[in-house]
Amino acid sequence: MAESHNTKNEGNDHVQLTAQCLCKAHSFTATVPRTALPLQACACHCTSCRHMLGAMYSTDTLWPGDPAVIRHCSTLKTYRFSDRLQVLFCSTCSSPLFWDFPAGARDGHDGKAAEPAGADKSQYGVFTGALLSSIKNPGPGPLIELAEHIVLDDTMDGGLSPILRRPNDTVHAKRQPATRWAGRQLLSKEIPEGEDHWPEPPAADWRNSEVREIPLWCHCRGVNLVYRCQEAYREHAAMDADKLPDTVDPLTRKTVVETDACTFCRTSCGTDFMHWTFSALRHLRYAHEDAKTHQQHQKDPEASTAGAFSLPATLLDLYAAVTAPREDRDPRLGTLAVYCSSEGRKRYFCSNCSACVFFASDANHDVIHVAMGLLDSPDGARAEGSFGWLLGGRVQEKDDIKGTWRETWLDSHETESEAWRKARKFPEWWKIMGWG
Ligand SMILES: [Zn+2]
Ligand SMILES: [Zn+2]
Ligand SMILES: [Zn+2]
C-alpha cells in the first residue's frame, strides 16, 4: 500500500493524485504527466451503481497508478458487482475506492465478461469522490473532465444529468458539454442537447402521487427496507407550518433532498456530490415482518401486524441494534453496519456491497439522513412525486475544494440547477425555508 506523504502538485511536468478512504487506512498515489491531463471521467446513472453507492450516480476515471499496488493490497474488501466488475472498498469506513475490470472493458457496467475481474490484466477505475482535493486544476480547465453521462434510461427521469450538462465550464473557458447516452456510450442512443426523451416528472403535489411506499435497498439487498412516504406526507400535511421540521417544504409538504459536497459524504459514497433526504425512523420499516409475527400469521392470517415491521424507534436504539452481538441482532438488519466518522456522527453502510445507507447526528432524536440513491421509486431516480429537490441556491461553502475540478463541477451544478428551477417555475426555496 502506497502511503501518501506529498499531496502537492509535483513540479512542472507531473501532478500527483491520492485516493484515500475516510478512515485513512487506505491511501494510494499516482503520478500523472501534465500532457495526459485533463483526465476523463464517466458518470454512470445505472440502477446498480445508484444502489451500490447510495449516490445518484457513480463517477470514475482510469487510475493512472501502478495496478499491481492495488492488486496486491490484501486489506481492501471486494464486492462482485457483476460478471466482469468488482468494487474494492474499505471494510472499516466503507469508502469505495476502485472498480476492478478486465483490460479494455471500461465501457459501461453491464454485459458478459470477456475475462473475469480480478484477473492479472485487471485495470482500475478510481471513484473520483475518493480523490483528495489537494490537487488544483492545472490550467484554465478542470483536472478531471466529466466527459459523459451513461445509462440514463435506467433513471426514467434523467436523474441528475439535467444539472450537469456543462460540468467542465469555467469562467475562463467554455468546454464541450458532457455527452449523454441512453445506455452504454457508443452502444446506445446518444441524447442530443435539448432532446430529453424521458417524461416530465409527475405533479409536484403529493396528493396526486400514487406512490405509498418506496423500497430502499442496497445493491446486494443485504439492506432491505421501505420508506413509508405517504405516512410521512400525511403527518406533515396535518401539521401547522411553524411546527414542521426544517427538512419539509412548507408549500408542498414534501421532504426535501439536499446536495452535500463535504469531504466526509463524498468520500464515503465515492461520488463528488452526495444527495440526502431525511426521515423519521417511524417512517421507515423493514421489508419483512418479524419472526414472531410471521409464526402467528402461519396459524392465524388475521393476526395483528402492529409494530411487526418497525425499525428501532430512536437513533440511540438503532445504533444499539446495529452494534449488538450477532446472537442478539435482529436478522432483518442484514448487512447494515456503522462507522463513527467523527464525534457524534455515524455513517451507516452495507458491509457487503459498500452502499451508504444513512447518516445520523447525535444531535437528532429520531430523524436520519437517507441516501437518495437507494430509493427505488416507480416515478424515477429523483422520485419527485415524493420529494422536493432544493434546486438553485448555494450548495455550501467551497473553501476546501477551491481551485479543484470539484469546484468547477459544483459551480456548474449550482448554475444549471438554478436555471432549471426557474424553467420549472419552482420558488426560491431557501427564502421559504429560511436556509439563508
Ligand atoms: Zn477506510
Ligand atoms: Zn453503472
Ligand atoms: Zn449491500
C-alpha to C-alpha distance for 138 and 133, rounded to whole angstroms:
13
From the list 178, 176, 89, 80, the residue with the least C-alpha distance to 127 is: 89
What is the average pLDDT across 235-249? 93
pLDDT at 68 over 50: yes
Q: Give me the residues paired with residue 16 across strands.
A: 31
User: Which band of pLDDT confidence, cut at 50, 70 and 90, is reported for residue 103?
Assistant: low
Ligand nearest to the CA of 352: 3
pLDDT of residue 186: 82
Q: Please give the distance, rounded to the nearest whole angstrom, from the Cα atom of residue 48 to the centre of ligand 2.
A: 6
> Could you tell me what percent of the chain has a pLDDT over 70?
90
Which residues sit with Cβ closer than 5 angstroms to ligand 3, an ion? 218, 220, 222, 350, 352-353
ipTM topping 0.95? yes
C-alpha to C-alpha distance for 34 and 141, rounded to whole angstroms:
13
Ligand nearest to the CA of 225: 3
For the ranges 12-21, 94-103, 196-205, the lowest mean pLDDT is seen at 196-205
What is the average pLDDT across 180-209? 74
Where do the domains of the chain lie? 14-180, 206-432
Q: Please give the distance, rounded to the nearest whole angstrom, from the Cα atom of residue 28 to the centre of ligand 1.
A: 12
- Pick the more confident residue, 2 or 152: 152
CB distance 374 to 354 below 8 Å: no
Question: What single string gives the DSSP state of each residue in 134-159?
Answer: TSPPSSSS-SEEEEEEE-GGGGSS-T
The CATH class of the 206-432 domain is mainly beta
39-44 vs 144-150, strand pairing mode: parallel
pLDDT of residue 153: 93
Cell of 336: 447494515
Q: Please give the distance, rounded to the nearest whole angstrom, from the Cα atom of residue 248 to the centre of ligand 3.
A: 29
C-alpha to C-alpha distance for 428 and 425, rounded to whole angstroms:
9
pLDDT, tens digit, 9 for 90 and up, residues 369-403 = 999 999 999 989 999 889 999 988 888 778 888 88
CATH code of the region 14-180 = 2.170.150.70
Cell of 286: 423493514
User: Other CB atoms closer than 10 Å to residue 239's CB: what's the count?
Assistant: 13
Q: Please give the distance, rounded to the nearest whole angstrom, from the Cα atom of residue 217 to the centre of ligand 3.
A: 8
Q: Please give the distance, rounded to the nearest whole angstrom, from the Cα atom of residue 11 to the centre of ligand 2.
A: 36
The answer to whether the 14-180 and 206-432 domains have the same CATH topology is yes
Rg of the chain in Å (alpha carbons):
22
From the list 367, 345, 370, the residue with the least C-alpha distance to 357 is: 370
Whole-number average pLDDT of the chain:
88
pLDDT of residue 38: 92
Q: Please give the distance, rounded to the nearest whole angstrom, from the Cα atom of residue 286 to the centre of ligand 3.
A: 15
The full length of the chain comes to 436
Q: Please give the distance, rounded to the nearest whole angstrom, from the Cα atom of residue 235 to the centre of ligand 1.
A: 38
CB distance 39 to 32 below 8 Å: yes
What is the average pLDDT across 148-157? 94
